[in-house]
Chains A and B, each alone.
Chain A
């Protein structure tokens, strides 16, 4: 019986995922996509990467306002090339990734900024706190792929990232730059050059 329940639940979940997806959702090429953040430690810019995230994107540059994007970032996949620092940042005072495993961004509006530039707005939730962010990005089609490239700043203390001794912004600056490069399969088939 339990196994049967599980099968039903999985089928229902699959149906929800299938039908809830935007019609024009694009295939994200994760091996080519990157989400990184640049913090300043004692004025020294240090880049770290989120190795796992999921993105749902439906975007047509001809109709940007109809576009939609959702990003879910696994915070425990934070990697700054130093195991000790990784452990600290995933821990309670920073991301508290056990309690809040994901950072989530959901777009509410996308507007054109001219030529291939656009701006996406929406709530960003990290560690149980939500703030509105807006990120300018460029959209470029290249061969069979399309690339969304953008960056925006957040204030880490607004999200309570870095508690206790880490509240000191002289050591680690409040402002953190989030950079994204999301590569998707292009809407149109690749045209011959």
Chain B
């Protein structure tokens, strides 16, 4: 088992951390919007924004890391069309994970509500107050999130297919607690 058959530990950690934060931010986002105005709602909105900003910073770190550390090569057994689809999927996922927090930040800016990260760091407003634009950005933020949800579903189903049906290393090389299977795919 050569080390380059797996993603680096940093890449694995960032992948799962970002996943957990997105899942939390997504669930919180859906839950908080329909709450009646209350201190809890204000808290949840603040936490949601902090999660988004954290994801934004981490995904930039992850993209930077990936550019400096090539991901492990694909199994030779995986058909080229699947590799192309997977590659395109990964590009779109990265793009969405960058753009979604940005649309949230833009929406908050246009709504005239500054974001104070972790109650400590005031982030600059990206736009001047404009409620029509805020409504538009809100819709964009929501639509992109549901798009991400659908793509993440495909991404996971593909990973499970590789793991449970094709029984190759595709998922294993991103799992934090296992090592690549030896020798059953002709790639070891």
Mark A residues whose CB is within 8 Å of B. Answer: 41-46, 81, 84-85, 88, 165-166, 168, 171-172
* Interface contact A172-B120, CB-CB below 8 Å: no
26 A-B residue pairings within 8 Å (CB atoms)? A41-B42, A41-B46, A42-B42, A42-B46, A42-B116, A42-B119, A43-B116, A43-B119, A44-B113, A44-B114, A44-B116, A45-B114, A46-B113, A81-B111, A81-B112, A84-B37, A85-B37, A88-B37, A165-B39, A166-B39, A168-B39, A171-B39, A171-B42, A171-B43, A172-B39, A172-B42
Give Cα A41–Cα B39 distance, bound, in whole angstroms: 9
Neighbouring B residues of A46 by C-beta, 8 Å: 113
Chain A min CB distance to B167 (Å):
49
Residue of B nearest to A80 (CB): B112
Residue of B nearest to A165 (CB): B39
Chain A min CB distance to B36 (Å):
8
Neighbouring A residues of B10 by C-beta, 8 Å: none
* Interface contact A44-B46, CB-CB below 8 Å: yes
Mark B residues whose CB is within 8 Å of A. Answer: 37-39, 42-43, 45-46, 111-116, 119-120, 129, 131
Neighbouring A residues of B131 by C-beta, 8 Å: 81
Query: What is the interface of chain A mostly: helix, strand, loop, or mixed?
Result: mixed
Q: Which 5 A/B pairs are nearest by Cβ-Cβ distance? A: A42-B46, A171-B39, A43-B119, A43-B116, A88-B37
Q: Between A and B, how many residue pairs show CB distances below 8 Å?
A: 35
Query: What is the interface of chain B mostly: helix, strand, loop, or mixed?
Result: loop
Neighbouring A residues of B39 by C-beta, 8 Å: 165-166, 168, 171-172
Give Cα A85–Cα B36 distance, bound, in whole angstroms: 10
Give Cα A7–Cα B65 distance, bound, in whole angstroms: 82
Known pairs A44-B114, A81-B129. 11 more at Cβ < 8 A? A42-B42, A42-B45, A42-B46, A43-B119, A44-B46, A44-B116, A81-B131, A88-B37, A166-B39, A171-B42, A171-B43
